[in-house]
Structure 1
Amino acid sequence: MKIETKFVIGNKQGIDALAFVAAATARQKFAGKISDQQLDEYISANFNPDVLMIELNSLSNQYLIIYLEGQPAGYARVTSKGTQPPMFDGKTLARIADFNVLKEFSDDAVIKSLFEKCLSLTARQQAIWINEYEFDPFLAFFENYGFKRNNNIALAKELPLASVSLVKES
């Protein structure tokens, strides 16, 4: 099984691959949890080529795509951008803001490879945090890597669904 994790480059090929895998994982993740219209609006607002180009050009973001046998299987975004909870004042901090793998590629080796690349990007930070929807299939996986649920972080996600914050401090 050939697994490769690559940084997304802000060219047409990179943006097209990211837009495809981000939209596909969003459709799988949110199907039946929000209306089709909400889902279409969410994808259009967050994963269109213009938005992705801006996001890719931000020095605060690093996007990764994991490929299985040459096919985009998932993606992640590690960032220092956005609102940071006050509990982290004075600490270096990174957030794994997106972490998604297509169900048909949801192999332990694929998930582990993508997540460990995220962790390598955040290795020098004093804290890493994740805010995910409470139905996210990777919550237990994150906890197995030492992330702890933290109810003191209130962060509104883009969609009207309950979320969970997890933190790992060094």
Structure 2
Amino acid sequence: MKIIIKFTIATEEGLAALLTLTHAIAIEKFSKLLELSFVEKYIHENFSDSNLVEELNSMSNQWLIAYVDNIPAGFVQITSKGVRPSSLDRKRAIRIANFGILKKYFNLGVEEALLEKSLAVCRPYEAVWINEYIQNPFIRLFESKGFVKQSEINQLDELPLNAVYLIA
């Protein structure tokens, strides 16, 4: 099994891989927590073709895709967008957002490789933050890499799920 992490741009191949991953991972992550119609609305509003092209072309974002034997297995968005924890107000900080791996690739080292590459991209910043729903199974992975769970509970972006900030 060969794991490769690649930066993604708004090419036909990159967009197709991201569309497939964003839709499948959102359904896997949220369909047991929210009504399917709400998940589908979230996907449509955040991961449509036009929205992804705009996000891929934004200077505020970098997108990485994890490939396992040349098959897209996961992705992450590294961005300056999003509501920051108040403790980062005066720091040069970046966010790891939308970190996701297809379930069939869990525990194969894909999540570790994708997070390591993400952290390498984030090195020039004073701090890195993540906003994740409380039940996310990747929280343990984030904590193992030095992220510290903050005490304040907030909302996961535009989803009605309790979330927590993690800061490294």
User: Does TM, normalized by the shorter one, top 0.5?
Assistant: yes
Aligned equivalents of 1:32 and 1:156: distance in 2?
16
Secondary structure of 1:114's counterpart equals helix
Q: Which residue of 2 aligns with 1:53?
A: 53
Which consecutive unaligned segments of at least 5 residues does structure 1 have?
Answer: none
Tell me by how many angstroms 1:83 deviates.
3.0
Q: Which residue of 2 aligns with 1:96?
A: 96
Contact 1:148–1:166 (CA<8 Å) still a contact in 2? yes
Q: Which runs of 4+ in 1 moved over 3 A?
A: 152-156
Aligned 8 A contact 2:4 2:67 in 1: yes
Q: How many angstroms apart in 2 are the aligned matches of 1:143 and 1:51?
A: 31
| CA distance in structure 1 between the aligned counterparts of 2:163 and 2:11, rounded to whole angstroms | 33
Per-residue displacement from partner, 1:133-170 (whole Å, max 9, x unpaired)?
A: 011110011001111111247455211111111011xx
- 2:127 alignment partner AA: A
1:143 maps to which residue? Answer: 143
**How big is the alpha-carbon RMSD for the aligned residues of Structure 1 and Structure 2?**
1.3
TM-score, with normalisation over the residues of structure 1?
0.94
Aligned position for 1:34 = 34
Structure 2 counterpart of 1:62, one-letter code: Q
Deviation of 1:3 (Å):
0.7
Q: Is this contact kept in 1: 2:66–2:114, CA < 8 A? A: yes
Equivalent residue runs for 1:4-153 within 5 Å: 4-152=4-152
Contact map agreement 2:3 2:67 (CA 8 A) in 1: yes
**Percentage of identical aligned residues:** 40
Q: Which sections of structure 2, spanning at least 5 residues, go unmatched?
A: none
The code of the aligned residue for 2:157 comes to K
Partner of 2:3: 3
How many residues are paired up?
168
Amino acid at match of 1:150: Q
| Counterpart amino acid of residue 139 in structure 2 | L
Q: Distance in 2 between matches of 1:144 and 1:45?
A: 32
Deviation of the 1:124 alpha carbon? 1.2
Distance in 1, Cα, partners of 2:4 & 2:156: 33
8 Å Cα contact 1:56-1:63 kept in structure 2: yes
